[in-house]
Amino acid sequence: MDEAQKKEIEKIIRHFECPKDFKCYKSGFENLCKAKRVGDGLFLLCLEKHPKKCGFVSVERGYICKCPLRIHIAKKLKK
């Protein structure tokens, strides 16, 4: 990850609290939840076994990941 990407990610994480304490970021994106980009990547399908335990999943329209950092990682870093 280059310096510009790091700054962009740090800007994103300043704007919300993560119930998982940003473990994805702190692990260097090695510890990511399972998700799949849909369409243009504006949202992700949650592929975790227990999606209802995540504070960032909408169950109204299915298991959609709403975490701004996870969406950014999928879209920009292709993970």
Structure tokens at 29: 């994106």
Predicted local confidence at residue 27, as pLDDT: 93
Measured in degrees and rounded to the nearest 5, phi and psi for residue 24 equal -65, -45
Query: Per residue in 13-67, pLDDT tens?
Result: 999 999 889 999 999 999 999 999 887 767 799 999 888 888 888 877 678 898 9
Task: Locate all alpha helices (DSSP H) within the chain, ordered by sequence.
Answer: 3-13, 23-26, 68-76
Predicted local confidence at residue 51, as pLDDT: 87
Confidence of residue 4 (pLDDT cuts 50, 70, 90): very high
